[in-house]
Structure 1
Amino acid sequence: MEKIGLGGGCHWCTEAVFQSLKGVSNVAQGYIASKQYASSFSEGAIIEFDSAIIPLHILLEIHVLTHKSMSDHSMRPKYRSAIYTFSDAQRKDAKEILRKLEKSSSSKIITEVISYHAFKSSREEILNYYYNNPEKPFCKTYIDPKIKILQTQFSDQVNNEKISHLLEIDEEYKVKHSK
């Protein structure tokens, strides 16, 4: 198993996106810091994954496409767009992957590749937020659209058992609107 830290938007969103993938064995939601200038804690998740099932370049492409990785905003200190690496080799790979993703993008990717330093877990009551609360308005408004991106652009990597509630909704929609 490998691991990488990812920060973007809300850690509930990051957690849900990566929990929904095949090859991801654990997602620890919380706050991540680097030793560098980004030493303040920012929302994120530590992703443990099997690179034989889901390679790093796919994980990072999903990360870039499921948060605002191309726009800066006033909340960046809390929601840093970052890839936290655990080794020099992983840092080099992540930078190269971002470079390739940016070449195929129409906008500059602002996601930073920085070294992991520390992690603080979120409070117990908000862990596994999406899968414990899929009907909450926050989940419907912010997380469901990210899961839909997975369904449409990364269907081979999605764990359909995890997102079965969305697949059922899609089927109900198709039945209602096919008349």
Structure 2
Amino acid sequence: MNNKLGLGGSCYWCTEAIFRSIIGVQTVEQGWLNSFEDHISFSEGIFLEFDPHIITLNELVEIHLLTHSSTSNHSRRDKYRSAVYCQTIEHQKEVEGIIATLQGEFDQPIITRALLINEFKLSPEHYQDYFYTAPKRPFCQKIIVPKLVKLMEEFKSKVNFKQVNKAIN
């Protein structure tokens, strides 16, 4: 099973904080991704590596869909493309199936697409691990902390509570 994945849909600071808080996610880097389908434009996102024996691809996709506006085609979608970036066609088809299965949990159509990753550009070092290096920043408190609280409520068994609670309290 492929254990690397790109995710986009929200600002990379938010997405990074969410997935750094998940047990079984080994590395998270934030930056800009593009796909073979749209190789000209980049959008914010993360690239992560995970242990499929601890957290499954299905669980990661579900967390992603439920922690950003995966049914909203808002005006900032060029910067925040709602996508799961896959490394192979087989991986892409698997993610498409997961999204189709999860559609039943949503009232509106999911706009998140499974795309083949073309390129990932790392954001500057001073932005990496944005939330956990200074969780008291106003942006972190106002935008990221509510997302982490929702994550802890909905995915209790998958969250590193010790790490998250240390940061938000």
Q: If the TM-score is normalised by the length of the shorter chain, which range does it land in?
A: over 0.9
Measured in 2, the distance between the counterparts of 1:38 and 1:128 equals 26
SS in 2 for 1:115: strand
Q: Which residue is 1:43 aligned to?
A: 44
Q: CA deviation at 1:105?
A: 1.3
User: Which residue identity is paired with 2:137?
Assistant: K
Output aligned runs, 1:38-77, within 5 Å: 39-77=40-78
Q: Deviations over 1:127-176 (max 9, x none)?
A: 10000121111111111111112211111111122112267x4xxxxxxx
Q: Is the 2:39–2:118 Cα contact (8 Å) retained in structure 1?
A: no
SS in 2 for 1:135: coil
Output aligned runs, 1:73-152, within 5 Å: 73-152=74-153
Measured in 2, the distance between the counterparts of 1:151 and 1:3 equals 23
Q: Is the 2:11–2:44 Cα contact (8 Å) retained in structure 1?
A: yes
Q: CA deviation at 1:101?
A: 1.0
Measured in 1, the distance between the counterparts of 2:37 and 2:114 equals 11
Q: CA deviation at 1:37?
A: 2.7
Q: CA deviation at 1:70?
A: 0.7
User: Which residue identity is paired with 1:143?
Assistant: I
SS in 1 for 2:145: helix
Q: Which residue is 1:154 aligned to?
A: 155
Q: Which residue is 1:17 aligned to?
A: 18
TM-score, normalised to structure 1, is 0.90
Q: CA deviation at 1:95?
A: 0.5
Measured in 2, the distance between the counterparts of 1:53 and 1:88 equals 24
Percent identity (aligned) = 42
**What is the RMSD of the two structures over their aligned residues, measured on CA atoms?**
1.3
Q: Deviations over 1:60-81 (max 9, x none)?
A: 0110111111101111111100
SS in 1 for 2:28: strand
5+ residue gaps, structure 1, are: 170-179
User: Which residue identity is paired with 1:154?
Assistant: F
Where in structure 1 do 4 or more consecutive aligned residues deviate above 2 Å?
Answer: 164-167
5+ residue gaps, structure 2, are: none
Q: CA deviation at 1:123?
A: 0.7
Q: Which residue is 1:177 aligned to?
A: none
Aligned residues between the structures? 168
